Chains A and B, each alone.
Chain A
């Protein structure tokens, strides 16, 4: 199960990066980056997965005593939670930049704003 998830995760990252580095429209770049972010989240969760174990919630199904043998590694999940929210933060910021760039310069093509070079 985790091999599939990790494989898909890495493919998503590569495809996301390919989309981000070849498209010239800024919105397409941001979309591709979100896809790559989802890929990263997939890999992060897949690393914590162990066969035949359940979610790290201590309820009637998993009592506190047998927790050590029944639950999967909770730490990557905590990391992914933060990673998703930070990913959204950066995406929202980039969208605002894109909108502001469109409002100020009227272009959405990243290869057009090259006035800062050399």
Chain B
């Protein structure tokens, strides 16, 4: 009981810090220094329509590289942890076959979801969305397959190859940035092309689609690892 009261008191104090923060917060009327630079220079420098994507991939590319590594790390740790105890493959218990609606529905929907995912991460630099969102959508497709047939086994080999290849492509494009363009992770190694076209904004679409594949692969590997912990 004291714990709840102590936590309540502490959170009140933390709340007062937040209130202080709120009081000190004055919304800007004008874009600040960095935002104005991005607003003015994204179009002609990078050639990407979606400024957020330009920032995420080029200007703050190292963050995204870090973030992709976070996902790679999480998937690897989950793989390592869950495979630790699973040397003995217990026998699978017989699950009732999933409902008719689910199987036919998923057979129809899965390709559509994959198509949508591909569209989202291919047009990352034009319309809202991008690698992460597209990857999540692909993962949800894999999820649907898992739901319909829980004993389905995805080939770990394929997933880790996709994951690693896309990671290497991302790093390679970064290193190419040093050789051919301004610096590490500079997306101008390919031409920025005509504004608004699919193959514009330098290497951003390539990077983002590979990021999409990578994120999709990583979420799928997380799900399959968790699924394979099925015990008798």
Contacts and interface: CB of A to CB of B under 8 A. Distances in A.
A17 interface: yes
A93 B51 contact: no
A74 B27 contact: no
Contact of A14 (B11, B44, B78): B11
A57 B128 contact: yes
A30 B49 CA distance: 37
Contacts of B11: 14, 17-18
B201 to A, nearest CB: 11
B18 A93 contact: no
Contacts of B40: 67-68
B31 interface: yes
Nearest to B80: A96
Interface residues of B, number: 55
Interface stretch (B1-9, B158-166, B179-187): B1-9
Interface residues on A, range: 35 or more
Interface string B1-36: 001100110010011001000100101110110111
B97 interface: no
A113 interface: no
Contacts of A104: 85
Interface of A: 2, 6-7, 10, 13-14, 17-18, 21-22, 47, 49-51, 55-59, 64, 67-68, 71, 73-75, 77-78, 81-82, 84-86, 89-90, 92-93, 96-97, 99-100, 103-104
Interface of B: 3-4, 7-8, 11, 14-15, 18, 22, 25, 27-29, 31-32, 34-36, 38-40, 42-44, 49-52, 55-56, 60, 63-64, 66-67, 70-71, 73-74, 77-78, 81-82, 84-85, 126-128, 132, 195-196, 215, 222, 226, 229
